[in-house]
Amino acid sequence: MKVLLLGVTGRVGSRMLPALLAHKHQVVAYVRTPAKISSEATSKLDSIVVGSASDSAAIKAAILSHNCDAVVNAAGLAAMTGLTSQGEFPAIFAAVVQAALEAGRERGSAPIRCWLMSGFSILDSPKKPYLLLDYIPIFPSHKRNYLLIKSHPADILAWSLFCANDISPKYDTPQFPPSADASASNLVAKADAPPAWVEKYRTVPLIGNYLNIMAQAQSYYSVLENCVDFIAADLEKGLESEWIGKRVSVKEKSKVK
């Protein structure tokens, strides 16, 4: 696919680029500071568009003028608590969603395939209808973003939210091509709820759910290079992906008991 990638100068986006290339996608980078892109990365990009990730009209124009079929958003950073300003992240998320939606409509043929970085806290908790965030209220902007995107049917915007807990790179710098051990096959994945969840403290009155979430969240740490391979591999499926319209959670296979 031809992918518009936002956030290529960040931790996630810089590793997303080699993963997308390894899966034979063409990549158009949308950045506000092109000087921050390494010369190696620049040489591998199809094009670079300069603009703000909160400028919906400019993102839409980039999608349409470069004939992109997909958008990957790794721009912006969610604030951990609601006590501080939520910064620009919700505005970036809303701008990307609006841009992809309108570009898909204007293009008329098929919706834009869209992967957006989100967070673990908006996954379903084992006790319906509560989300994990209802027990541990962190990264509140992810919930706001989720409520926004789920109001758009997947047949007009083919979205997926990547809901990792803590993702850290294995290698200090992006690897071109990605290292052979970077692979989606190191992960198990599930839609809307964490995979391989274990109900340990179900019988503890009142605080059982809190204990369980606190105890297990750490085991959902995942390797960034595996996560970006997961997204890049999925984009090969285009609109046939089983993850469209879903919050997607992953766990390292090595952590599955």
Residues of this chain that interact with ligand NAP (CB under 6 A) are 7, 9-13, 32-33, 36, 52-54, 74-78, 88, 92, 117, 119, 164, 166-167
Can you tell me the distance from the alpha carbon of 27 to that of 39, in angstroms, rounded to the nearest whole number? 15
- Taking the least distance from each CB to ligand NAP, the nearer of 39 and 109 is 39
Q: Which residue has the tokens 């915007």?
A: 157
Helix (H, G, I), strand (E, B) or coil at 170: coil
Identify which of residues 98 and 239 has a Cβ nearer to ligand NAP in the complex: 98
Exposure of 154 by Cβ count < 10 A (0-12 exposed, 13-18 middle, 19+ buried)?
Answer: middle
- Please say which residue, 46 or 88, places its beta carbon nearer to ligand NAP: 88
Find the shortest distance in angstroms from Cβ 117 to ligand NAP.
Answer: 3
What distance in Å separates the CA atoms of residue 201 and residue 234, rounded to the nearest whole number? 35
User: What is the closest distance, in whole angstroms, from the C-beta atom of residue 59 to ligand NAP in the complex?
Assistant: 10
**Minimum CB distance to ligand NAP smaller for 52 or for 239:** 52
Question: Residue 11 CB, nearest distance to ligand NAP (Å)?
Answer: 4
Q: Which residue is nearest to ligand NAP (CB)?
A: 10
For ligand NAP, give the closer residue by CB, 10 or 208: 10
Contact criterion met (CB below 8 Å) for 238 and 113: yes
Assess contact for 31 and 48: CB atoms under 8 A. yes
DSSP per residue over 60-71, as a string? HHHHHHTT-SEE
Give the nearest distance from C-beta 92 to ligand NAP in angstroms: 6
